[in-house]
């Protein structure tokens, strides 16, 4: 098992520091904005294990802050300042308990989604669904014909058809030279 020792000192002093093999030294500048890690090389010298990563750390912190700020803004999504924290939302819910009770009741009455089905406000009974399933495809696609056969019209005492024979009989009764009440036809 190796024992790791860590020595401390200012970066200005690091040049005079001797490290044994496996011994580590953490050095930083006077305002503690730059940090470096050295390890003993076994020959009384030292090797810089990591170059100054302060800029890298600052960049990662900035990226993390940007990511976090973006996610918080997406969560808040333009909520008014008085309602943009969980504590404010909880207080608003508590202050409006009647509204929350009504909302919870409405949620309790929602239509549950069944596998393979969509949600709808049409509350069909099993009998209605069976009846609808029995309607043939295209059953309601009626197209009115442009003409009808005379045989489909129901005759009554005021609506009758005249046959060709009846028309001939009538036409034979009057000729084009017949006179009725002094007129010629």
The 10s digit of each residue's pLDDT in 88-135 is 888 888 888 888 888 888 888 877 777 766 666 566 777 888 888 888
Q: Are the CB atoms for 39 and 19 separated by under 8 Å?
A: yes
Angle formed at CA 29 by CA 27 and CA 35, multiple of 5 degrees: 50
Q: Kindly report the number of other CB atoms within 10 A of residue 5's CB atom.
A: 11
Q: Provide the residue ranges of all domains of the chain, joining segments of one domain with +.
A: 6-52, 57-85
pTM (whole model) above 0.75: no
The CA-to-CA distance between both ends of the chain, in Å, stands at: 139
Q: By the 8 A CB rule, do 35 and 14 touch?
A: no
């Amino acid at each position: 098992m190796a024992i790791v020792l860590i020595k401390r000192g200012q970066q200005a002093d690091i040049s005079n520091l001797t490290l044994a093999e496996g011994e580590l030294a953490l050095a930083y500048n006077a305002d503690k904005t730059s940090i470096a890690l050295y390890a003993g090389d076994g020959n009384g010298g030292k090797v810089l294990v990591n170059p100054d990563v302060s800029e890298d750390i600052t960049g990662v912190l900035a990226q993390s802050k940007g990511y976090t700020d973006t996610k918080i803004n997406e969560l808040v999504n333009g909520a008014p300042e008085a309602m943009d924290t969980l504590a404010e939302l909880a207080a608003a819910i508590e202050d409006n308990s009647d509204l929350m009770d009504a909302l919870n009741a409405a949620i309790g009455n929602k239509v549950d989604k069944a596998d393979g089905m969509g949600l709808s406000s049409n509350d069909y009974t099993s009998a209605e669904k069976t009846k609808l399933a029995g309607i043939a495809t295209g059953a309601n696609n009626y197209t009115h014909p442009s003409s009808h056969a005379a045989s489909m019209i129901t005759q009554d005492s005021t609506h009758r058809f005249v046959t060709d024979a009846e028309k001939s009989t009538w036409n034979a009764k009057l000729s084009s030279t017949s006179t009725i009440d002094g007129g010629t036809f």
